[in-house]
Amino acid sequence: MDMQPDPSAVVQPAVRARLWVSGYRLWPPDGYARLWLALSDGRALALRLGGRWLGKDEAIAPIVAALADDAGGHRYSLTLPEVDYVHVLYAAPVVPSLARDSAAFVLDPDFQSYVKALDREVVALLASLERPDTPAAITGYPVGREPHPPPARYLASIRNYNRLAALPTEQRERRMQALRRFPALVAPVLLTLHHSPNHFDGKRHAWRNKDESVEAAIDQGRDLVGALARFWEISRGLVRSPINAVMWGDREAGRRRAFLAFLDALPDNQRPDIVEFERWAPYLMNYFGLLWEEGEGIPPPKLAEVHRNAFHLGWQLTWRAAARRHGNLLTALADCGDFLDAVRDRAAVMLKRPYGPSRRRLAAGWLACFGLLGLLDASARWHRLRPWPEKDPTLPDFDVPEIVGRLEEDGKTAQELFTPALLQMEGMTMRHCVGGLNYWQATVEGARIFHLERADERATAFYQPRALSAEGEDAVYELVQLRGPCNQDVSDAMEAWAERVGEALNDPARQDRRRAALRCKSEALAHRWQARRALHFQQHPLDPKTERQLKRALAWLGETLPGPEVLLIAHVAGFEYHDGPQVEEKLAVGDALALVHEPANAHDALAVRLDWQGRKLGYVPRPHNEEIAARLTAGARLAAHITKIERAAQPWRRVRVMIRHEEQKAAG
């Protein structure tokens, strides 16, 4: 906001040192002037002025006067009669870092004078918090293309410097002592973990996680360990752990809380030191990804038992064993998602439900029962042994236009896979899950998958379209996945060939083909829905060991396998559109329901109505009504009752019912 304060209304601090810097020496370069000031009240300031003010000290006095009473740093811009518009750069580094002439610049008398005027103890502490992470245990990715690049911490800003250097002496010492003792826990509370240095404007892009109880404990010297334990929701033992005696992690507070909750779940003797923690921490994000419900970046709470059992061998031994068995852990953990989807389908069959437990719950159950190694082993076994049918009639079989077709260069080949049959053949020959329905659906939605060959090497490449406009008429294709047989990594030469195929996909001459491919999505929606309907209750065989493990994981989740008399456990469809809302408060678990086949139903001749005491609750959901309707037509004695009521759930998930065969129950 623009401020026009009266310079005579406040006492103006003295300027201890000043440093002018041309914008052309910064990155990105510009024509504006920058000014760093060290003031007698302990503060430092960084400012951006018009280029004509470079080196003109007469601009300093009105600026300092305007900011004299702004110790909290709330004014991001000034409009002054003497100087015009000024940006106050609180996210600029307290010590300028130049893109050019840095060697000569540090010898400049003005630079040396400015640095000498700063509180060196504060600068050194802030710089120590920016320590680089230990390199990841498994590398091989080009710089800048790591799936989880190491976090870049930036704390040595003007704002953070002023938060310490301008404090009264005793308060300054107490806060610096707390930062030295528990940097990973105190720094996010007292300081801003900036995204990056900002030499351009005064806009604020990051905030600290302020907590008055932690600040009071520091300033008054009272039970800081307890205050930090309460704020971060961890044990006092983890607060005192050596891992929190150094700064680690990125600027995302939710992710830090997730990491701390994970570490707190491990026994004291199995917690890693900072080096081992940072070596394997990039893969922990993929581990958390298996446990997320809605992909919000933070795993669900109350997973202490899961974490302990997943790493029962200890942090270091678990990761090292996983790397020996499965190689690239980012790939191996990502592949667990396809395995869990297959397990969910099988669980739906076993539980007689339309859907099995969520992927998150199944992952938690598997990790709790068999550990991280057990989940990775089961996933690899499923990918290796998965049976492939000759033809899957549920796949929508319609024309998807080619974009490239076949490409040949210097003995290398690339074949576009644009039919279900081609994708299934790729899945069978390469022994990975590219033949699954979800990859065909991705192709229908515009993605492109290629079989690549060079010399004696084969690979499957997946290219995802990124729309170039809101209308989505054209797109740029990006290589997002490249796997060899059995999901193995590929050579640099194969990666280069895959990049070349991507260039062919994005050739301007193929724009019309790309547009045709993207238009295919809307035409396929009806086909996709029909395919999903047909997939319900389809048998998805698992190998005997995985089948036994699934039963144990379901038991850990509290899921009881129904008896042979149970035909279906499902929610009432259309509950909110009939008498459900009117009678909901009267419903109770165990209430009997009547099953009424409606062969004359205009919407579905297989419709089966669910009645409660003569009132219509809704219907058996499609397509599961087909078997129920057929049995009723054949004269079978079926019974239904309410098994669960969740009044806070969405209407279509509020009432769950069980339908069973009365004769089988009586016989049992």
420 and 461 housed in the same domain: yes
454 and 518 housed in the same domain: yes
The larger pLDDT score, comparing residue 48 to residue 446, is at: 48
Q: What is the DSSP letter of 573?
A: B
* pLDDT over 80 at 18, yes or no: yes
Q: Between vectors from CA 310 to CA 309 and to CA 316, what angle results, nearest 5°?
A: 110
Name the residue range of residue 201's domain. 128-265
Domain-located, residue 399:
no
Q: Which residues partner with 622 through β-bridges?
A: none
The larger pLDDT score, comparing residue 437 to residue 325, is at: 325
Task: Return the percentage of the chain with pLDDT > 90, whole number.
Answer: 55
Domain-located, residue 50:
yes
What local confidence, expressed as pLDDT, does residue 668 receive? 46
What local confidence, expressed as pLDDT, does residue 39 receive? 97
Domain-located, residue 507:
yes
* pLDDT over 80 at 151, yes or no: no
What local confidence, expressed as pLDDT, does residue 296 receive? 40
Q: Which of 493, 518, 533 is the last residue of a domain?
A: 533
Domain-located, residue 545:
yes
596 and 641 housed in the same domain: yes
Domain-located, residue 494:
yes
What local confidence, expressed as pLDDT, does residue 271 receive? 92
529: tokens are 């829905």
What local confidence, expressed as pLDDT, does residue 604 receive? 82
The larger pLDDT score, comparing residue 140 to residue 595, is at: 595
Cα–Cα distance list, 628 to 57, 130, 352, 662 (Å): 87, 64, 13, 13
* pLDDT over 70 at 293, yes or no: no
441 and 330 housed in the same domain: no
What local confidence, expressed as pLDDT, does residue 103 receive? 67
C-beta separation of 45 from 88 below 8 A: yes
Domain-located, residue 6:
no
What local confidence, expressed as pLDDT, does residue 128 receive? 95
What local confidence, expressed as pLDDT, does residue 294 receive? 44
350 and 369 housed in the same domain: yes
460 and 410 housed in the same domain: yes
134 and 257 housed in the same domain: yes
219 and 236 housed in the same domain: yes
Domain-located, residue 9:
no
Number of domains in the chain: 5
Alpha-carbon span 618 to 593, nearest angstrom: 11
Q: Which of 243, 265, 287 is the last residue of a domain?
A: 265
Alpha-carbon span 101 to 602, nearest angstrom: 80
* pLDDT over 90 at 314, yes or no: yes
Pick from 118-122, 161-165, 349-353, 613-617: least confident: 349-353
* pLDDT over 80 at 462, yes or no: yes
Q: Which residues partner with 17 through β-bridges?
A: 38
* pLDDT over 60 at 648, yes or no: yes
235 and 273 housed in the same domain: no
Question: pLDDT tens across 377-430, in order?
Answer: 999 999 888 765 544 444 455 678 899 999 999 999 999 998 888 898 998 899
Distance of CA 436 to the CA centre of its chain: 24
Q: How many CB atoms lie within 10 A of CB 514?
A: 24
147 and 221 housed in the same domain: yes
175 and 235 housed in the same domain: yes
* CATH number of the domain within which 582 lies: 3.30.70.2330
349 and 456 housed in the same domain: no
C-beta separation of 351 from 558 below 8 A: no
pTM value is 0.72
The larger pLDDT score, comparing residue 254 to residue 246, is at: 246
Across the beta sheet with 33-39, the strand order is 15-22, 33-39, 44-49, 84-88, 77-80
Residue positions counted in the chain: 668
Nearest in space to 441 (alpha carbons), one of 521, 382, 497, 383: 521
* pLDDT over 60 at 634, yes or no: yes
Q: Which of 265, 296, 325 is the last residue of a domain?
A: 265
C-beta separation of 311 from 469 below 8 A: no
Residue 651 banded pLDDT, cuts 50, 70, 90: confident
What local confidence, expressed as pLDDT, does residue 102 receive? 63
Domain-located, residue 391:
no
